Structure 1
Amino acid sequence: MASHPLASILQSFDFRFAPERDIRLQPYSGSAWRGAFGFALKRLLCVMRLRPCAGCPLSGVCLFPGFFGDDPEHETPRPYILAPQPTPPGGWIRAGEPFAVRLTLIGGAARAAPYVAQALVDAAARGLARQRVPFACLSASAAEPITLGGPSGSIEVNQDPSEPPSAPRTVRLRLATPLRLRLRGDLVTGRSLTPAHILEATLRRARLLGLVEPERDLSQLRELARLLAWRDARFGWLETTRFSSRQDTKMQLGGIVGEAWLDLAPSPELWPWFRLASLLHVGKGASMGFGRIELHAE
């Protein structure tokens, strides 16, 4: 894993949008953005008059099922992460106030980059949440330059290359959005969370996304992870509410938030995997920005 650049399997776009009117969103608004994005992507790609994907004769060649399929709530990992910034305290975003959204494509999904980036711009322009407040796209940056169309003209996407840093001895790990993991059917809490839990979730997610060969033996990595422990852990639980358009109801999605320090000296080989966790997100709701891990070398 450490031998190949992460940029070869991930492609990210950083967007800055601004609402045309004041709008109030949930603290973590990934569900609202994902719903609007999914509708816009289907409008952009579907040549069958937006018929259901199930039974469609083109489902084997269409790009849309790989991103959403028949059931957008299904927990099979999707090859993208839509991660909006947390909304300000109180949830209000004022008209004209910049709001950041990162869209990351994983593995082979990068071939659809022009479509998904355009769909996100279209989704924002059509409006978010029940108020359908339009968001204008102010700017976008990506690993490779492309041009997107918008209601106010074309938007040039600038190059923004990045390289993963070398392994630090100590790292501060912050759970920036709620992390929801299950261990043998039981929810992992802040008191029971270990570095090995995060590594295991990362390995599983990477394998399901096709980033790790199915036959690769990962037992040594798991053994190394058991040597690690938190220092000065400050984890808690945050309950959030999101609206499911498919079920037309509000749903609870709680998870662990907080931070801890991690001494990597016993297992420096694991650094690329924790780095990957910070890029992939882990746990339930990863495709809409939950389970975001921030790493800060100390």
Structure 2
Amino acid sequence: MIPGAFAYACPQSVGEAVGMLAECGEGAKILAGGQSLLPLLRLRSMTPKLLVDINRVPQLRGVREEGDSLVIGSMTTQHDLLHDVLVQRNAPLLAAAAQMAGDPAVRHRGTLGGSVTHADPAGDLAPVVLALDGELVAQGPRGLRTIPAAAFFVGHLATALEPEELLVEIRLPKAGDGWGFHYEKFQVSAQAPTLVGVAAAVRCENGGIAEARIALANMGVTPLRAATTEAALTGADATEAAVARAAEGVAEGTTPTTPEPGHSTVYRAHLARVLTRRAVLAAVRTERS
């Protein structure tokens, strides 16, 4: 199909982009990599009055260190996340998930900011930001605002961003000693969306698990933290049997939708348990010394 008519603007700075959003309000949409937005426009599932293309705003790209945090510009592509040395060293879980996001063509265009603000529950990068207790920094007419990842995803394809705000960067704590990371997912085919994904961050100490953070993709209308399993893993032995017991409760409190026949909520819960066990054990094996 052909998109409906809309105005197009290409700001050169964050301030200029924010001004356009403030002037147009809810009628404006941001164009980042376009991997999610363009199909919606073609299907007329979304009909903005103004499309604000932020691809020529250089401040939104790149990765840098600030103390104990890794700061990633919202327009940094998934390809760059996969190959950036700072990301590989300080946020290996994000690099691992980026490798599984789409295909090479998608990764060269798709951005971290675009992925998290689209807030697709089947997205691979949002649960990583959630598992790592990341922060999302937005700029609006009144200045900067920092939103914890736990408060950022508020519904299906919905975030805590105000219509006049622009996501400018994502801040992640640097990976510390003793932590291991892994991202595991299942999809029906290479081109199909993630049916269930698990982002696992595990800190080991004296042969056991001292701390665990588990986030799930596509087990609800937003990315979810698996609080029951996190609690069960804390203090548990880092053995396959102990991890399997902790993973039994990973689907508690989840409300997975059923995108296709044959993918019942019971099946999705089973997948979540299996993938959590695999992800946690792999994270234990990759523990940093």
Category of TM-score, reference length = shorter chain: under 0.3
Give the number of the structure with larger relative contact order, counting CA–CA contacts within 8 Å between residues 6 or more apart.
Answer: 1
Bigger proportion of residues as strand: 1
TM-score by length of 1: 0.25
